[in-house]
Amino acid sequence: MELVRERAALRAQGLLPLIADDSAFSVRDLTRELTLDTFDILNIKTARTGYTESEQMRVLALAAGKGIMVGSQASAGLGAARAGLFAARLGIDHPAELSFFLKLEADIVTPPIPIVDGYIHPADLAAVRVDPDLLRTFTA
C-alpha cells in the first residue's frame, strides 16, 4: 500500500496512463486501488492470482471503466500460453506481455508458441501442451 495516495494524486493530474501491477496483487488490493482511483490500466498476471481471482479482477476493473492488460509473470511456455488465452477474454484490449518464455534455453511444451508479425494467436495457444518426452528429459 506504499505511496497509494501519491499514485492517486499522480493519476488525478492526467499526465500519462498509469498501470496497476504490484499495487494490485489481489481483489482486496484492486478494490483499494479502484476506491482511490490510482490507475488507468490493470495488469493481471494469472500466474500470480490464479484464474478465479484473475477473472474477479477482470470483472471489477471493467465495471470501473479501467483498461486491462495481461502479463506472463516470468512464465515458461505453458504459463505464457494459458495467460495468453486469458488475455483473449472480453474487455481485455491492451497488449499482453507474454514474451518471457523467449529467454529460456529450452521448454517442455509442444508445439513451440509461434509468434507471427509480433502477434500470438489464441488458436495457436490452445494447441500448446506439455510434451511428455521433453518433461522426462528435464526431470530425469
Superfamily grouping for domain 4-103: Enolase-like C-terminal domain (3.20.20.120)
The pLDDT of residue 1 is: 52
The pLDDT of residue 73 is: 87
Bridge-based pairing state of the strands 129-130 and 19-20: unpaired
Cα angle 22-27-33, degrees, rounded to a multiple of 5: 60
> What is the block-wise mean pLDDT of the chain (140 residues), using blocks of 10 residues?
85 95 95 96 96 98 98 94 97 95 95 93 96 93
Q: Is 110 helix (H, G, I), strand (E, B) or coil?
A: strand
C-alpha cell at 120: 500470438
Q: Is 46 helix (H, G, I), strand (E, B) or coil?
A: helix
